[in-house]
Structures are given as structure tokens and as C-alpha cells.
């Protein structure tokens, strides 16, 4: 049995986002790799997206991704 957690949480304060990023990054130490002996193995990832939807003019979001080491 594998448990997957997904969340989309928006913050207006960078400090709040950074606190959650630190928590998730430390939790990735215990993460597992799905199908570790197969070529299509899947590791855990953490995506942080800088969004500019509330700015005028808007601009594209910036994706920052951390991947659990395989």
C-alpha cells in the first residue's frame, strides 16, 4: 500500500510558503520510490509555483520542482 498526498495551497506571505516547503522537504527523506526495480519508476516530487495572477499585468507562473532522489 502506498499513500500519496497532493495539496494546492496559496499564500500571500512568502514566510508561510517557505515554512511549508521546509516541512515537505524534510518529509521527503522518508518518501519511497514507486516501482523501484522498473524503468518507469516514480519518485516523489515537490512543486512550488510562483504565481503572478494577482498582478497587473499578469505574467507566466514560474515552476520550481524538487525531486526525491531515486
Q: How far is CA 23 from CA 29, 39, 40, 46, 56, in A?
A: 11, 29, 27, 11, 32
Residue-level pLDDT, tens digit, the chain, 70 residues: 888 888 889 998 989 988 998 898 888 888 887 777 777 777 788 888 889 988 899 999 998 877 655 4
CA gyration radius, the chain: 15
pTM, whole model, 2 decimals? 0.69
Would you state the pLDDT for residue 14?
87
Amino acid at each position: 500500500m502506498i499513500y500519496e498526498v497532493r495539496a494546492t495551497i496559496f499564500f500571500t506571505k512568502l514566510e508561510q510558503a517557505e515554512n511549508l516547503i521546509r516541512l515537505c522537504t524534510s518529509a521527503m527523506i522518508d518518501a519511497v520510490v514507486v516501482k523501484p526495480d522498473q524503468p518507469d519508476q516514480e519518485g516523489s516530487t515537490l512543486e512550488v509555483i510562483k504565481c503572478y495572477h494577482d498582478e497587473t499585468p499578469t505574467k507566466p507562473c514560474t515552476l520550481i520542482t524538487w525531486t526525491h532522489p531515486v
